Structure 1
Amino acid sequence: MDIEQLRTVTLVAQQGSFAAAARALSVDPSSVSRSVAAVEAELGLRLFQRSTRSLSVTEEGEIYLARLVPLLEELDRAHEDARAVSRQPAGTVRLTTSVAFAQTCVVPHLAEFASRYPDISLEILPSDANLDLAAHSIDLAIRLTPEPAGDLIRSKLIDTRYRVVASPQYLARSGALAVPTDLQAHSCLRFALPEFRTRWRFRRDGEEPVEVPVFGKVIIANALSLRLAALNGLGPALLADWLVKDDLDAGRLVDVFPDHDCSATEFETAAWVLYPSRSYLPRKVRVTIDFLKQALT
C-alpha cells in the first residue's frame, strides 16, 4: 500500500475535508479523492462518509486511523533517526504567535537560528487570533496566557509580567502616579480585550490585591500600537515586560508602580510553546523549541 496515500488519508481526517487536505498538500482535490478511494478499495471498506456538505469518519475508519497514525509517526521517527546520524535537521517549521511577540521576541533571533540550522525554513505566521494548528498545518504556536487550555502539548518558554508604563513627558505634564487608584483620574491606554479594558489588578507584598477601574478614550487591539501610543505620551498603559524592557532601560518609558505586581488577569502568566498532542515530534520541531527556550531565557 502506498505510504503517501496513507498520509493523505490521515490528513483528510485531520483537516475534515478533501478540499482542506488538498490545500495543505498544494494539490488538486481530485488527487486527494483518488488517494482515499485507492486506500478504501484495497481495504475493502469505507473510511469516510461523504455528503455534498460534510465529511465524517466511519466507525471502521476510526478503528483504522487509530492504528495507522502511530505507525506512520513511528515510520517518520525511524527515517529521521537514521538521517540524523549524518545530517542537520531539515524541512519547514510553521510557527504562529502574536504580532507583538513575533516582532519583539522571535524575529530578532532569526539570523542566529538560520546560522545554526541552515536547512530549516522557518515560516512565521504572526496573528493576534489563535489560529487552529491542524486547520493551518502549523507545527508550533506560542500563546501568552496564564495556562493554555485544550489538548495540545505545552512547554513554558518564559514567565511574563505586566507593568503599567508611561512616558516621562506624560508624567511631567500630568503629574506622577503615587498609588494605583490614582489611575482613575487619568486617561489610560487600554488594550481591546474584555479583561484589559475595564479594570487593572495590583498586588504588593503583605497586602491584598486590589482592582482599579480604568478609563480612557484610546482603545487599541494591537500591543505594538499600544506601546507606541504610550511612547508618544498619550497616557499610561498596561504592557508585557518583554515588550517594554528596552524602553524602560533606555528611559523612554517609566515603570509607574515598580513595587507592585500588575495584571489584567492572573499575576502569574507566561509565554507557552504549544504543539499537537502526538507521540512523534519531528527533529526540526524539537530543535526549534530548544532554540526558542535558549534564546528567550
Structure 2
Amino acid sequence: MDWDKLRIFHAVADAGSLTHAGDVLHLSQSAVSRQIRALEESLGVTLFHRHARGLILTEQGELLFEATSSMGRKLDAAAARIRDSEEDVFGELKVTTPVGFGTLWLVPRLPKLYEKYPDLKIELLLEERVLDLPMREADVAIRMKEPSQSDLIRRRLLNIRMRLYASEQYLAENGTPPSIEELGNHRLICQSPSTPQVSSGAVLTQMLLAQSLGSTLMVNNYFGVLQGVLANLGIGVLPDYLVADFEGLVRVMPEIESGDVPVFLAFPEELRQSRRVMAFRDFVLEEIQSYRKWQSESGGD
C-alpha cells in the first residue's frame, strides 16, 4: 500500500475536507482528490461519503483511519526516541494531571524545569478524566490513584489528605470552631460530592455537608476553594500539600481529615528511554523530595 496515499488519506479524514487537507499538505485540492480516488480504486472500496458539508468516513474508511492513526502514534514514538538519543532534552511532552494538583502544585514549580531544559515544550492537560497513555493521549500522567493498565511504568510519589483550612484573618474575625458541631456557625467552602474528585475527598465533603450548615460555597475544583479561603470567605476542604506554598493557611479541627490519597506518576513502557520523560520524572521526584524535607522540618504529618 502506498505510504504517501495513506498520509494524504489520513489528513483528509482528520480535516473532513479536501481543501483543508490540501492546505495542511501544501497540495492542490485536485491533487488530493486524485490520490484519494487512486487509493479507493486500489482497495476496491469507497472511503468517504461525499456531502455538501464535507466528507464523512465510510465504515471501511473508519477502519483505515484507525490504522493510520495507530501508525502515526508509532512513528511519533519512534521519532521521539531518535531525537532523545541526543544529549539535549527538547521537544514536546504531553503531561496530564488533575486540575487541582496541576494548577496548585505543578505549574508553580515548572520554572525550575524550564530553567534546566529551556527547549522543552510542555502541553499540560488539566482534567479529571483519565487519559489513555498507551494510546498516547498523553506521555506522562500524575494521578490520584494507582493506574490500572498493566503496560505502564508507575511510581508512587506520596500520599495526600484532604483537611480543613482557613485564613488567619478569617479565624481572627470569626473564631476557630472547636468541634464539628460548631461548624454550622461558619461558611464551608468545598467541592460538591458529585464533582469528579478522589473518592475520599468526596466522602469527607459529604460528611461535612450533612452537618447543620448555615452557608456554603461550592466550587468545582480546589483552585476555586483555595481562592475562597484566601479571600476570608470561610473554612475550606483542601489537600494538605498546599500548606507548603501558602503559609497563611491554618488547619482547623485537626481530628477531621480524609483517608490517604495516593499520588502516582505513570508513563507508557515504550517511553522508558525517552529523555524528556526521564527529565520530567526526575524533576517531579526532586520536588517531592523537597516537599517531604519541608514536611519533616516543619513538623507536618
Question: TM-score, normalising length from structure 2?
Answer: 0.63
CA distance in 1, matches of 2:263, 2:9: 34
Q: Given that residues 5 and 35 in structure 1 are in contact (C-alpha distance below 8 angstroms), is that contact kept between their aligned partners in structure 2?
A: no
For 1:133-148, list aligned pairs within 5 A: 139-140=138-139, 142=141, 145-146=144-145
1:114 to partner: Cα distance: 2.1
Task: Count residues with an aligned counterpart.
Answer: 273
One-letter identity of the residue aligned with 2:232: G
One-letter identity of the residue aligned with 2:49: R
Which residue in the other structure is 2:184 paired with?
184
State which of 209, 213, 227 in structure 1 corresponds to 2:210.
213
Q: Given that residues 188 and 235 in structure 1 are in contact (C-alpha distance below 8 angstroms), is that contact kept between their aligned partners in structure 2?
A: yes
Which residue in the other structure is 2:90 paired with?
90
Which residue in the other structure is 1:283 paired with?
274
Which ranges of structure 2 fall in alignment gaps of 5 or more residues?
A: 289-301
Q: Given that residues 109 and 295 in structure 1 are in contact (C-alpha distance below 8 angstroms), is that contact kept between their aligned partners in structure 2?
A: no
Structure 1's 123 and 78: CA in aligned 2 closer, same or farther, altered over 3 A?
Answer: closer
Q: SS at 1:164's partner residue?
A: strand
CA distance in 2, matches of 1:192, 1:100: 14
1:291 to partner: Cα distance: 3.7
Report percent identity of matched pairs.
Answer: 20
Q: Given that residues 45 and 60 in structure 1 are in contact (C-alpha distance below 8 angstroms), is that contact kept between their aligned partners in structure 2?
A: no
For 1:99-118, list aligned pairs within 5 A: 100-118=100-118
Which residue in the other structure is 2:291 paired with?
none
Which residue in the other structure is 2:59 paired with?
58
CA distance in 2, matches of 1:234, 1:240: 18
Which residue in the other structure is 1:253 paired with?
249
Structure 1's 274 and 129: CA in aligned 2 closer, same or farther, altered over 3 A?
Answer: same
CA distance in 2, matches of 1:289, 1:74: 21
State which of 242, 249, 260 in structure 2 corresponds to 1:268.
260
Q: SS at 2:178's partner residue?
A: coil
Q: Given that residues 163 and 240 in structure 1 are in contact (C-alpha distance below 8 angstroms), is that contact kept between their aligned partners in structure 2?
A: yes
1:123 to partner: Cα distance: 3.1
CA distance in 2, matches of 1:162, 1:34: 57
1:282 to partner: Cα distance: 8.2
One-letter identity of the residue aligned with 2:160: T
Residue by residue over 1:166-185, the C-alpha shift from the partner in whole angstroms, topping out at 9 and shown as x without a partner, is: 12333344333233343234
Which residue in the other structure is 1:223 paired with?
222
Which ranges of structure 1 fall in alignment gaps of 5 or more residues?
A: 203-208
Question: TM-score, normalising length from structure 1?
Answer: 0.64
Which residue in the other structure is 2:174 paired with?
174
CA distance in 2, matches of 1:149, 1:217: 35
Whichever structure has more helix as a proportion of its residues is 2
CA distance in 2, matches of 1:30, 1:268: 58
Q: Given that residues 98 and 129 in structure 1 are in contact (C-alpha distance below 8 angstroms), is that contact kept between their aligned partners in structure 2?
A: yes
Which residue in the other structure is 1:239 paired with?
238
Which residue in the other structure is 2:163 paired with?
163
Structure 1's 97 and 76: CA in aligned 2 closer, same or farther, altered over 3 A?
Answer: closer
CA distance in 1, matches of 2:266, 2:33: 33
CA distance in 2, matches of 1:239, 1:122: 27
**Cα RMSD for the two superposed structures:** 4.9
